[in-house]
Structures are given as structure tokens and as C-alpha cells.
Amino acid sequence: MPHARHPARILLDGLRLRRPPGAVQRTEAAATAERVRPHETRGRAAAARTAFDLLDRRATGIFHVAARLYPTRFEMGLEICDVFSLEKGLLKAARLAAAELRARRPSDSSLDVGKVERFLDKRSPTFREALEDMRDTE
């Protein structure tokens, strides 16, 4: 059996070609989302479901679809270690300004998901929930 395309990939391919997802793409994406294991639909197809919800409501504008409660980069590392049972002692806290990077980086690179949460009346997963979903489905 050939590998099924990810539901989000089906939508993105249509959008890349400047064709809004029609009935065929939506049906293919929905069928693919239904074939995945039940625990996978929680996160893996979450972005596709959010895209469907936005399309169904004829949303316009920019919507950030990401984890909510975005931790600092160091806290992200700690969460990753905790969820994937990795050694936290290997992490070292450091200040971004001391990194001497060629390109400047913002101290806060999180996305505000409030607009999509309000528009769809649906809570986005936390960073930890997204990691746990990744651990459980990969």
C-alpha cells in the first residue's frame, strides 16, 4: 500500500498551486486523517483540522497555528528532556546576547495564537502537549 500523504500536505500542495482546496482535496485529506491511529489525530492532523476549520468559516487574514504557553528556549530544552527522558544536566542556561550570533535573534520568538483560538473557539495545545503527542505518535 503506498504511503498516504499527510492531510496538511494535501491542503498545502493545493494552496501552493494557488488553487483553494476543492472537494476532492478536502475529501482526500479528511479520509487520510481518519485512517491514522486515533492518538495520532490529536496532534499530527491537528494543523490540518485547524486549516479545515478556518476554510469552513471562510477565514481571511493571518492566523498563527502553534503551541500556546510558549516557554523560553531554555525551558523548551528542559521540557524536551523531560518528555523524551533525556539528561537535563547537558543543558546550560545562557543569555542570547552572549551568543555572538551573526544574525540577531529576538528574545521572544513565540507566536500569538489568541486570534485563531478566539475565531475557532478552540484551545491550542501547550508546548508540552505538542511534545507528548510527538513522542506518542512518532
Single-letter code of the amino acid located at 33? A
Q: Which three cell numbers stand for residue 86?
A: 533525556
Q: What is the pLDDT of residue 138?
A: 58
Q: Which three cell numbers stand for residue 42?
A: 490529536
Cβ pair 134, 55 in contact under 8 A: no
Per-residue pLDDT tens over the stretch 11-31: 556 555 555 555 555 555 555
Q: What is the pLDDT of residue 105?
A: 81
pTM confidence score: 0.60
Residues with Cβ within 8 Å of residue 131, at least 6 apart in sequence: 79, 80, 83, 84
* Alpha carbon distance 35, 24 (integer Å): 17
Per-residue pLDDT tens over the stretch 49-94: 788 888 888 888 999 888 887 778 888 889 999 999 999 988 888 8
* Alpha carbon distance 45, 27 (integer Å): 14
Q: What is the pLDDT of residue 107?
A: 79
How would residue 1 be classed by pLDDT, with cut points 50, 70 and 90?
Answer: very low
Residue ranges with strand state E in 27-102:
none
Question: How many Cβ atoms sit within 10 Å of the Cβ of residue 13?
Answer: 13
Q: Is 29 exposed, middle or buried (0-12, 13-18, 19+ CB in 10 A)?
A: buried
Distance from CA of residue 114 to its chain's centroid? 15
Phi/psi of residue 68, each to 5°? -95, 170
